[in-house]
Amino acid sequence: MANQALTNPAVDFSEWYNEIVYRADLADQSPVRGCIIIKPYGYELWEGIKNALDKRFKATGHVNAYFPLFIPKSYLDREAHHVEGFSPELAVVTIGGGKELEEPLVVRPTSETIIGESMAKWIQSYRDLPLLLNQWANVVRWEMRTRPFLRTTEFLWQEGHTAHATEAEAEAETLQMLDVYADVAINEAAIPVIKGRKTETEKFAGALRTYTIEAMMGDKKALQSGTSHNLGQNFARAFNIQYLDRGNQLQTCWTTSWGMSTRMVGAVVMTHGDEKGLRLPPRLAPIQVVIVPIFKTDEEQSLVMAAVDGLKRALLDADIRVHVDTREQQPGFKFNDWEMRGVPVRLEIGPRDVAGGTVVAGRRDMPGKEGKRFLKQENIAPQVRDLLTEIQASMLAQATTFRDANTFDVKTYDEFRGVIEQGGFARVWFAGSDADLTKIKQETAATHRCTPLEQPGGSGTCFFTGQPADSVAIFARAY
Q: How far apart are CA 407 and CA 401, in angstroms?
A: 10
Angle at the Cα of 81 (from 79 to 87), degrees rounded to 5?
90
Which of these, 306, 280, 282, 284, lies nearest to 293 by C-alpha position? Answer: 306
Quick one: 131 or 361, whose CB is closer to a second copy?
131
> Smallest distance, Å, CB 171 to a second copy?
24
List, as one string, the DSSP characters of 322-360. EEE---SS-HHHHHHHHHHTT-SEEEEE-HHHHHHTEEE
Which of these, 113, 264, 282, lies nearest to 180 by C-alpha position? Answer: 264
Chain positions 68 to 87 lying near a second copy, rule: CB under 8 A, are 68-72, 75, 87
Widest pairwise Cα distance in the chain = 84
Quick one: 122 or 333, whose CB is closer to a second copy?
122
Which residues touch 156 (CB under 8 Å, ≥6 apart)?
38, 46, 136, 137, 138, 261, 262
Please give the single-letter amino acid code of residue 101: L
Quick one: 19 or 171, whose CB is closer to a second copy?
19
Site string for a second copy, 45-64 (x = CB under 8 A): -xx---------------xx
Q: How far apart are CA 252 and CA 240, in angstroms?
A: 7
> Smallest distance, Å, CB 78 to a second copy?
12
Site string for a second copy, 9-38 (x = CB under 8 A): -------------------x-xxxx-xxxx
Q: How far apart are CA 403 and CA 58, in angstroms?
A: 32
Residue of 14, 44, 60, 294 that binds a second copy (CB under 8 A): 44
> Smallest distance, Å, CB 154 to a second copy?
5
Q: How far apart are CA 131 and CA 119, in angstroms?
A: 8
Site string for a second copy, 99-138 (x = CB under 8 A): -----xx-x------x--xx--xx----------x---xx
> Smallest distance, Å, CB 450 to a second copy?
28
Chain positions 191 to 220 lying near a second copy, rule: CB under 8 A, are none
Quick one: 62 or 198, whose CB is closer to a second copy?
62
> Smallest distance, Å, CB 424 to a second copy?
34
Phi, psi of 293 (to 5 degrees): -75, 140
Quick one: 98 or 458, whose CB is closer to a second copy?
98
* Distance in Å from the first CA to the final CA of the chain: 28
Give yes or no for residue 333 binding a second copy (CB under 8 A). Answer: no
Give yes or no for residue 445 binding a second copy (CB under 8 A). Answer: no
> Smallest distance, Å, CB 351 to a second copy?
27
Find out whether 260 and 226 touch, Cβ atoms under 8 Å: yes
Give yes or no for residue 318 binding a second copy (CB under 8 A). Answer: no
Quick one: 27 or 182, whose CB is closer to a second copy?
27
Quick one: 69 or 186, whose CB is closer to a second copy?
69
Quick one: 122 or 374, whose CB is closer to a second copy?
122
Which residues touch 261 (CB under 8 Å, ≥6 apart)?
155, 156, 157, 158
Residue of 43, 57, 254, 430 that binds a second copy (CB under 8 A): 43
Find out whether 18 and 24 touch, Cβ atoms under 8 Å: no
Quick one: 35 or 381, whose CB is closer to a second copy?
35
Give, to the nearest 10 degrees, the angle between helix 40-59 and helix 263-272: 110
Chain positions 147 to 176 lying near a second copy, rule: CB under 8 A, are 153-154, 156
> Smallest distance, Å, CB 462 to a second copy?
37
> Smallest distance, Å, CB 59 to a second copy?
13
Binding-site size, a second copy (CB under 8 A): 55
Find out whether 119 and 239 touch, Cβ atoms under 8 Å: yes
Residue of 11, 144, 250, 435 that binds a second copy (CB under 8 A): 144
Quick one: 155 or 335, whose CB is closer to a second copy?
155
Stretch that binds a second copy, among 66-74, 313-321, 373-381, 401-409 (CB under 8 A): 66-74
Instruction: Write a three-state SS string for 246-304.
Output: CCCCEEECEEEEEEEECHHHHHHHHHHCECCECCCCCCCCCCCEEEEECCCCHHHHHHH
Q: How far apart are CA 272 and CA 259, in angstroms?
A: 23
Instruction: Write a three-state SS string for 360-411.
Output: EEEECCECCHHHCEEEECCCHHHHHHHHHHHHHHHHHHHHHHHHHHCEEECC
Which residues contact a second copy (rule: CB under 8 A)?
28, 30-33, 35-40, 43-44, 46-47, 63-72, 75, 87-98, 104-105, 107, 114, 117-118, 121-122, 133, 137-138, 140, 142, 144, 153-154, 156
